[in-house]
A and B are shown apart, each in its own frame.
Chain A
Amino acid sequence: MASKERSRRSDKEGQEQGHTYPYKILVVDDEPDLQPLILQRMRRPIRSGKYEFVFAQNGIEALQRLAAEPDIDMVVSDINMPQMDGLTLLEQIPSVNPNIRSVIISAYGDMQNIRTAMNRGAFDFVTKPLDFKDLRHTIARTLRNLVEWREALASRDQLVVLQNELDVASKIQQSILPTEFPRHENYEVHASMEPARNVGGDFYDILMLERDHVGLAIADVSDKGVPASLFMMSSRTLLKGTAIGLPQPGMVLTDVNDLLYEENETAMFVTVFYAVYSPMTGKLDYANGGHNPPLVIHADGSSEFIPPVGGIALGIARGIPFAQGSLTLQTGDTLLLYTDGVTEAMNAESEEFGAERLQAIFLENPPTSAQATNDAVFAAVHAFAGDTPQSDDITCLSISRTSG
């Protein structure tokens, strides 16, 4: 940390910049005591119109706030919070607003979290219990850095700063998709997404769970643009956070649905298929939140869609249970998860690709690997659609039981 001398000087220089006051600072903490304390201890710069403080209770609320209020200059965030913690928030901030500086509040001596925060782009940190003098200096120094950075940017092409909304949304979407896949002696897994030009809302995730189990998720958010991307990000983060603590897919979707419903005022929703695969036995437990039924493809190329278990898209209604189904993959079987960008792809005659064509792919060419399965689907959809423009994202996630 810089010395007090330096911080004070930065503070003064900060005031001399041409920024129209106040600087807007978002404080993220789940403890209700912090808000009155900050408003009291920072009353001087608040009264003089230098700072304005706004507050959020957790990372998800913070991201929504950042998206709705692009004039926020910096974030001061606690690490431990429900729903989305400070470290996850840090990772997501640049995709919502790259022009923001973040400061983390951490427990004293918690070097591991501090280091992680720094790696994820935090500009600085302050420790608990909060020393308000230190916090004031840190805020001043952080804003000073921000002003400099903005001046540097202003001299460059304005288009770089004022990004097109769909461009931002597309980056958010791309940033959450894993492109490295786990390797295991008993299975192979691979996933891929082809974005539509007008950004759809597909995403997938592959989660390493306890006892070597694998969480497999594929999802489609109902709308496009930045608000939909944020909804996608919350969906993905909530799913990941919930899945790590709960082994039953039905309970995972039940919890994620309630969490999404609570914060959903825009009637957005997400269809999600989520399964937990056990590599030792080949057993797959699954639940379905209104998503297209996945396909089980056998070594000989025959296939069947997995039996429906009911379920509604997530974010629409509160407190609904999600039934769970289970099946066992035999050695040589491949499970293909996909989004409606596959089955609803259109050709020049306005025909849909459909479920039958999907199954027909593998009758001719039985799957040889997870990646080959996905590649075959993309190739068949392209051949079918021809020059007809792609209107929705196309996403495939496959897992093959290779042995065990």
Chain B
Amino acid sequence: MEINTERTDGVLVINAEGRIDGSNSAQFLESIQAVVSDDDNGVALDFGGINYISSAGLRVILLLAKELRQKQTGFGVCSLSSSVKEIFTISGFDQIISIFDSGADAVGALK
């Protein structure tokens, strides 16, 4: 899975496209871990291009949230499609992960 990154005001925004499921979730986690720097104030996953996330993908988000919390780095997801948002709502992840409407909102909150 290809990811694109951009740093704005100390916040790393990571764009991904397609599906996140059991077949690519480990690779997705590794590629994110490779780009996150200790200097980042915050990390946001921009899911504007993601149309599906399975429970294996949610687990990656949970792992990232735990790792970043230990480093006291802010974390959130943004630009969720309606189907991905529904998955966050059903699983209760919306109660434990910060969700922002857009990348700009995420940068504003996490910088």
- One of A221, A292, A313, A340 near B92 (C-beta < 8 A): A313
Q: Which of these, A221, A224, A312, contacts B91 with CB under 8 Å?
A: A312
Partner of A291, one of B56, B83, B90: B90
- CB within 8 Å of B: which A288-326 residues: 289-293, 310-313, 316-317
Taking a contact as CB atoms under 8 Å apart, the answer to whether B22 and A312 are in contact is no
Q: Indicate if B54 sits at the interface (CB-CB under 8 A).
A: yes
* Chain B stretch 31-70: residues in CB contact (< 8 A) with chain A: 51-52, 54-56, 58-59, 62-63, 66
Bound-complex Cα distance A220 to B87 (A) = 13
CA distance A201 to B56 in the complex (A): 10
Return chain A residues, CB-CB under 8 Å to B63. Answer: 267
Q: Is the CB of B56 within 8 A of A224?
A: yes
CB-CB < 8 A to A313: which residues of B? 58, 91-93
Report whether B56 and A316 are in contact in the complex, using a CB–CB cutoff of 8 Å. Answer: no
Known: A224-B22, A267-B63, A391-B22. A312 touches B55 (CB 8 A): no
* Secondary structure dominating the interface of B: helix
Chain B residue at smallest Cβ distance from A350 = B51
Q: How many residues of B contact A (CB 8 A)?
A: 20
Query: A268 at the A/B interface (Cβ < 8 Å)?
Result: yes
Q: Is A223 an interface residue when CB atoms closer than 8 A count as contact?
A: yes
Q: Please report the C-alpha to C-alpha distance between residue A378 and residue B55 in the assembled complex, in whole angstroms.
A: 21
Q: Does A80 contact B (CB under 8 A)?
A: no
Residues of A contacting B66 in the complex (Cβ-Cβ under 8 angstroms): 267
Q: Which of B21, B90, B93 is A292 in contact with, Cβ under 8 Å?
A: B90
Known: A224-B22, A293-B90. A312 touches B56 (CB 8 A): no
**Contact: B22 with A198, CB < 8 Å?**
yes
CB-CB under 8 A from B51, the residues of chain A are: 350
Produce 1/0 per residue, B78-111, CB < 8 A to A. Answer: 0000010000001111011000000000000000
Given the complex of chains A and B, what is the CA–CA distance between A200 and B21 in angstroms? Answer: 11
A220 contact set on B, CB distance < 8 A: 55
Among the listed B23, B52, B56, B92, which residue makes an inter-chain contact with A290, where contact means beta carbons less than 8 Å apart?
B92
User: Within the complex, which residue of A223, A271, A344, A350 is in contact with B56, where a contact is CB–CB below 8 Å?
Assistant: A223
Within the complex, the shortest CB–CB distance from B73 to chain A, in Å, comes to 17
Chain A nearest CB, measured from B39 CB (Å):
25
A382 to B69, CA, bound (A): 42
Asked if A330 is at the interface (CB within 8 A of a chain B CB), the reply is no
Could you pull out 27 A-B pairs where Cβ atoms are within 8 angstroms?
A198-B22, A198-B23, A220-B55, A221-B55, A222-B56, A222-B58, A267-B62, A267-B63, A267-B66, A268-B59, A269-B59, A271-B90, A271-B91, A289-B92, A290-B90, A290-B92, A290-B93, A310-B92, A311-B92, A312-B91, A312-B95, A312-B96, A313-B58, A317-B96, A344-B52, A350-B51, A392-B54
B residues at A contact (CB < 8 Å): 21-23, 51-52, 54-56, 58-59, 62-63, 66, 83, 90-93, 95-96
Which 5 pairs, one residue from A and one from B, show the smallest C-beta to C-beta distance? A312-B92, A290-B91, A222-B55, A290-B92, A222-B59
Q: Which residues of A contact B (CB under 8 A)?
A: 198, 200-201, 220-224, 267-269, 271, 289-293, 310-313, 316-317, 340, 344, 350, 352, 391-392
